[in-house]
Chain A
């Protein structure tokens, strides 16, 4: 593999409405001349424009045929730019600034790095690849779409969020890893069937609603847990995907409402008043 070439997309004017920029991905750029790339279709609030109208495109005359050799850097991005990296299979996208909804929707490989915050549906239905966010993320990270069956969400790959995340992280996910360095909102991992979600700080209400499988680790304060989880064991020291928590955890199995076999592991010391009763159940046996 050769040295990756870089295309830089500088936002000319800040759009006032949501922009569907799903053609901005290494797969679309591959084997295309820069003039063709500038003519790619972009929907700005329903009106058709082109990539060249919206961005100033700087890069080599012709993109290599292999998408893995393409880097795309978006400068001055705002939270209106949506669908970046749609179905990308390789390469790298770096977004300097915020980004909108559906970043990495159905992506199959490659890397997306966002030096800012993103809105809802980050890595929605992704099959593989890596997404890293240095700001916050909105709701439904690595989720399925509304109305689909459990297990139609994120399949493989990993999402790392260095800030906070909104509610329903990993809704219906079936594999892969989501790491939230700070706290997450309500309903973490609802109806998930596999995969791992690690929230290093607190989470909102009812993590693991209707979960069928997989593992949720919450290393901080939880606002409430569902009564449909069975307490399983007391873990003095937890290791998950190379991360180590040097504090005790209480492990639950559930959600019994749907006959699930998922693991929900919650930091014991942070939630002592909530979990004391459950711990006493484990000790009696």
Chain B
């Protein structure tokens, strides 16, 4: 395999505690190695003097694959008319789409921005085979998927019966059977209420038929993931998402993390796209930002992490979520296209196209909330930058979010264009904080790698890490990034050089080679007796509830193009 030496780069690597040093990095056999192991005469030597070198970026929440993404593509032909880029044979496939891009564009655009690992955050268990087919087709990046469990009837039945050990075994089996990486809770319990009663749930409402509250559900699943000792514990999308006044629900959900019995390592709970669940006020007309309260709770509660779901103004988006009740409401606000579906016993989903407008009062408040949370959070290790692609904005606008975080001037320039009445009710104009490139490297590289339990070989540039390396054409020693933020946007939008698994895939912001990454999945170990008992229960449940047989449900390893198994030691007895 090729040997590469990246010379004289200005390296930022928070996991190895390197805060910007001029260093050389050597790559051999797809891994970062010590400089002595590489023969300089045979290696490709790239001089990157005056440029920033970081590890490959990691996105913890981006809807890139699955049945709902595909339906989104079908629903939005107008998204594909003017965004076509023809193929360049033999190394590049054709690209199309902005909010619902085709698989090739997803891979290529992430690679151009220097992201090398992306997590698809919601896949219903029974449709995960489709998700894996799509993930297999996405080039360039490593990927993983989180499986939806909040309204899964099998798990709800087990919770009702009080079989904690069996529930843990079921989740362990589910992660292995669907080849996914973590458990995702979307609007916990709401899809059950949606199917039975036609309405959503707040965190302390009783779930129909089952007789417990979403709060109890979160706690039980949180406890079980501690037993399972999986690296990324629970990924929670809070109840009452998208309703004014829902910040109280979010605070309550965050407080539940304190009640979870902690056994293993890592953060107990991850609250996702917090912007959508940070609304103060009692109606759309009196909407205010709850960003301050959420940031306060984040600073006080050491067991949780957040991602933003930052709104990008004046871009078309396609909201797609497993929160079906909310999409039903959103359809009545927008009155255009709408898709909702129930997935037999697993989950539900909805899709509605939308556009955030800078002159709109509500949309401006939404825009401010994400930034307020990010800027008021003290610990960059527990906050992640996402746009919840394609819900709040397309992922190609991440550099804009970076600019708003590292530069007050960038925020002020955008604030001139937005709804001024809304700004008066936000605390964003009074925040002076500016993140540094080092903080940005934490938020997009080191912290996500740690959150996903991959810090041994992802998110850093130490010896033994995967050779996912990005070089951005900007020098923080020369350029004042807080003044000249447009340089930052330009540099981060098109990386100067991207190396993926030891191969050069992007040069000067253009794709030079198409490679395919791996799919990560978790395999928690299980005691044999428990496995036997579980298989008995599952056979009965599958005959009772599912339309498919148990054997057909399980996704085999050969169905995944490049599987990457990560086994964990559990505390199950």
Contact = CB atoms under 8 A, between A and B. Distances in A.
B495 to A, nearest CB: 30
A61 interface: no
Residue from A147, A148, A149 with most neighbouring chain B CB atoms (10 Å): A147
Contacts of A145: 77-78, 81
B77 A147 contact: yes
Nearest to A144: B78
Interface string B323-352: 000000000000011000000000000000
A148 B81 CA distance: 11
Interface residues of A, number: 5
B513 interface: no
Specify the main secondary structure of chain A where it touches its partner. loop
A276 to B, nearest CB: 36
A280 interface: no
B74 to A, nearest CB: 10
A58 B75 CA distance: 46
A149 B78 CA distance: 9
Contacts of A148: 78
A18 B355 CA distance: 35
Nearest to B335: A258
Interface in B39-87: 75-79, 81
A263 B359 CA distance: 34
Nearest to B81: A145
Contacts of B77: 145-147
Contacts, number: 13
A258 B329 CA distance: 18
A148 B337 CA distance: 10
Contact of A149 (B75, B81, B336): B336
- Residue from B77, B78, B81 with most neighbouring chain A CB atoms (10 Å): B78
A147 B74 CA distance: 9
A46 B524 CA distance: 51
Interface in A125-149: 145-149
A49 to B, nearest CB: 16
B78 to A, nearest CB: 4
Contacts of A147: 75-79, 337
Nearest to B80: A147
A146 B79 CA distance: 10
Interface string B76-101: 11110100000000000000000000
Contacts of B75: 147
B105 to A, nearest CB: 18
B338 to A, nearest CB: 13
A147 B72 CA distance: 12
Contacts of B81: 145
B570 to A, nearest CB: 48
Nearest to B337: A147
A167 to B, nearest CB: 18
Interface in B289-320: none
A41 B119 CA distance: 42
Interface in A142-165: 145-149
Contacts of A146: 77-78
A218 to B, nearest CB: 28
Given A145-B81, A147-B78, 11 more contacts: A145-B77, A145-B78, A146-B77, A146-B78, A147-B75, A147-B76, A147-B77, A147-B79, A147-B337, A148-B78, A149-B336
13 contacts: A145-B77, A145-B78, A145-B81, A146-B77, A146-B78, A147-B75, A147-B76, A147-B77, A147-B78, A147-B79, A147-B337, A148-B78, A149-B336
Interface of B: 75-79, 81, 336-337
Interface of A: 145-149
